[in-house]
Structure 1
Amino acid sequence: MTATLENAATRPATEYAVRLSGVHKTFGQGAGAVPALAGVDLDVAPGEFVCLLGASGCGKTTLLNLVAGLDRPSAGELELNSSRPAVMFQEAALMPWLTAAANVELPLRLAGLPRGERRNRTGELLELVRLNGVGGKRPHELSGGMRQRVALARALASALHTTDGSRPALLLMDEPFSALDAITRDVLQGELLRVWRSTGTAVLFVTHDVREAVRLGQRVVLLSSRPGRVVQEWQVGDLSGVEEAEATAVINQRLREVISSHATA
C-alpha cells in the first residue's frame, strides 16, 4: 500500500483546519541543541480524522503542542483555520473537586456562555458520550474509561461551543486511551468514532499503536525517528476487515523499517 494523496500545495488554505509547512522545532541552543522536528509538512482538513504515528520520541507530542499553541516552531509556518484547538491528553486531567458536569461546563463558563445555555450544552455532551446520570459524580467515583469520556466531553465543549461557528472545530488527542485496559480501550475507540461522525470535528490523533491508527483514522501519517518528519501517508478510511488487517501489516513493516534505519544510522 502506498500513499496516493493529493498534493497539499494544490489545495486552497481554506480547506485546512490546520496546515504545517516546513515546520522545524529545536530545543536548546548551540552544541546542546536537540532537534525534535525537521521540515514537517502536514495538513488536516475540516472534519478529517488524521492519525499521527511514530516511534516513541519521534516528535509526535511536540507537533501536537505546536498546533495547540503551547509552543512555537523554530522555523516554518503553521496556519490555523480552525477555532481554538481543544486538547485531550493520556490522563483525563479532570478537576478533582468538580463534578463530571462541572468539568465539562468549565470551558463554556470561561467562554462567557450564559448559565442556562451552559447547563443545556453540558447535558447534551454528557449524553453524547453516554454518561447520562453521572454528571453529579466526582472523578474519583468514576472508572478510568468514564473519566476519559468526561475528558472527551470537556474537549468537545471547548472545540464546538466556544467559537462563533465560522471556523471548523479541531480536536487534538495525545494517546488518550493508552493507559486503559484493552477492553476499555476498544470500547472507547468505537465511541470516539461515533462521536466524531456525529459532530464533524477535525481530529489529529497521536498514537504509537498501528492497529489503533488504522481503525480510527481516515489517514495515517508516519513520522520518522527524531528529528521527526513525514515519511509516508496512507488513506485508510472505510476499509473492510481484511483490508484493515492488510493495512496494519504494511504500516507495521514500514514503521519497523523507519526504526531500524534510525538505529543503524
Structure 2
Amino acid sequence: MTATLEDPTVQPAIEHAVRLSGVHKSFGQGQRGVVALGGVDLDVAPGEFVCLLGASGCGKTTLLNLVAGLDKPSSGEIELNSSRPAVMFQEAALMPWLTAAANVELPLRLAGVPRSARKNHIGELLELVRLEGVGSKRPHELSGGMRQRVALARALASALHTSDDSLPPLLLMDEPFSALDAITRDVLQGELLRVWRSTGAAVVFVTHDVREAVRLGQRVVLLSSRPGRVVQEWQVEDLDNADELSTIDEINQRLREVISSHAAA
C-alpha cells in the first residue's frame, strides 16, 4: 500500500461565502428586551443569489447587519469565507459633495488601491452599471435610479477590489429598489441580474416583495415573524412562467400563514 500526501499548494474549494449557525440576536434585557433573531441557520455559496423574505420586523435587516459586521450576534456563529461584505441600502446614501466617480472611488481609496488603478476601476464599474459619461455629476444631478446605480457601483468597488482576490465577493442588499417607481425598479432588477452574472459575487438580497424575490433569486429563504428563524426555502432558478406563478402563490400563502400565526400568538 502506498500513501500520497496532499499538495499543500492546492487550496480546498470554498463551500460557502457565509455560514450562520444558530445565530440569535437580542436588543435590551428583561421585559423590555426584544429577541430579533431566534436561531438562524443559513449557508450562502460563493456566487449564489439568495433572497431573504419575511414580514416587517422579522429580523431581515438585523441579519444583514450581523453578516456585515455592523453588529455582533448575542450567540451563535457567523463564518465568512468572503471578501469584506459590501452593503447597499434602501437609500443610495451617497456623499452629496462628491461626484459619482468620487463616490465609487471612496472604498478603493480606503482599501489603499493606488491612484492609477483606481481610475481604471472607476471607469470599469461605471460602465458596468451603464453610467458612462456621468462620473462628473453630483448626486443631486442624478435621478433616483441613477443614484442607486452609483450606490451599486460603489458596493461592487468594495466587494470586488480587496487585498485577497482568492476570497469570493459578497454583496448584501437591503431592499435597494423599494423606494423607486415600478418602471425604474423593474429596469434595475434586470440590471442587477446582469451585473451579478458578470461579477460572480454572492448576493444576499432582503425584500418583502415575493415577486421580486422569485424573479431575482436562485433561492428564496422565508424567515418567521419575530424572533426570526428560517422556516422554509425554495429553489427558484430557471422556473418557467407557469412554475414561477405557482411558486409565487405558494410563497405568498406560506407568508400569510407565518404572519397569521404570529398575530394569533
* Cα distance in 2 between the residues matched to 1:86 and 1:163: 14
Cα separation, 2, equivalents of 1:190 and 1:241: 17
| 1:39 alignment partner, SS class | strand
User: CA contact under 8 A between 2:14 and 2:46: conserved in structure 1?
Assistant: no
C-alpha contact (below 8 Å) 1:25/1:35 kept by paired residues: yes
Give the alignment of 1:205-224 within 5 angstroms: 205-224=205-224
Aligned equivalent of 1:188: 188
Are 1:239 and 2:228 an aligned pair?
no
Distance 1:158 1:184 in 2: 24
Q: Helix, strand or coil for the counterpart of 1:173?
A: strand
Amino acid at match of 2:185: R
Counterparts in 2 of 1:87-166, with a 5 A limit? Answer: 87-166=87-166
Give distance in 1, aligned partners of 2:242 and 2:143: 33
How far residue 134 of structure 1 moved from its aligned partner, in angstroms, is 0.3
Q: TM-score under structure 2 normalisation? A: 0.94
Shift of 1:154: 0.2
Distance 1:136 1:246 in 2: 46
Map of 2:9 onto structure 1: none
Which residue of structure 2 aligns with residue 173 of structure 1? 173
Asked if the contact 1:89–1:176 (Cα under 8 Å) also holds between the matched residues in 2, the reply is: yes
Q: Deviations along 1:22-63, whole A, 9 cap, x unmatched?
A: 000000012211100001000110000000000000000000
The 2-side partners of 1:248 and 1:16 are apart by 27
Structure 1 runs not aligned, ≥5 long: 1-11
Partners of 1:186 and 1:151 lie apart in 2 by: 17
Q: Is the CA contact 2:15–2:46 (under 8 Å) kept in the aligned structure 1?
A: yes
Q: Which string of whole-angstrom CA distances, capped at 9 and with x for unpartnered residues, describes residues 158-214 of structure 1? A: 000123211100000000000000000000000000000000000000000000000
Query: Aligned partners of 2:77, 2:120: CA distance in 1, in Å?
Result: 39
Higher Cα radius of gyration: 2
Q: Aligned equivalents of 1:204 and 1:260: distance in 2? A: 26
- Alignment: residue pair count: 254
**Cα pair 1:107 1:162 within 8 Å, conserved:** no
The superposition leaves residues 231-258 of structure 1 with CA deviations (integer Å, 9 ceiling, x where unpaired) of 0000001111222111111101100010
Contact residue 23 and residue 37 of structure 1 kept, 8 A: yes
What amino acid maps onto 2:215 in structure 1? R
Contact between 1:17 and 1:45, CA under 8 Å: does it hold in 2? yes
| Whole-angstrom CA distance in 2 between matches of 1:112 and 1:72 | 26
RMSD: 1.0
| 1:13 Cα deviation from its structure 2 partner | 9.1
Q: Distance in 2 between matches of 1:215 and 1:116?
A: 38
2:59 is the counterpart of 1:74 = no
Out of 127-136 and 160-169, give the one that drifted further: 160-169
State, as a whole percentage, how many aligned pairs show the same letter: 85
* Structure 2 segments unaligned to the other structure (5+ residues): 1-11
The alignment partner of 1:84 has SS state of coil
* Cα distance in 2, alignment partners of residues 191 and 13 from structure 1: 29
1:138 positional shift = 0.2
Q: Name the structure 2 match of 1:44.
A: 44
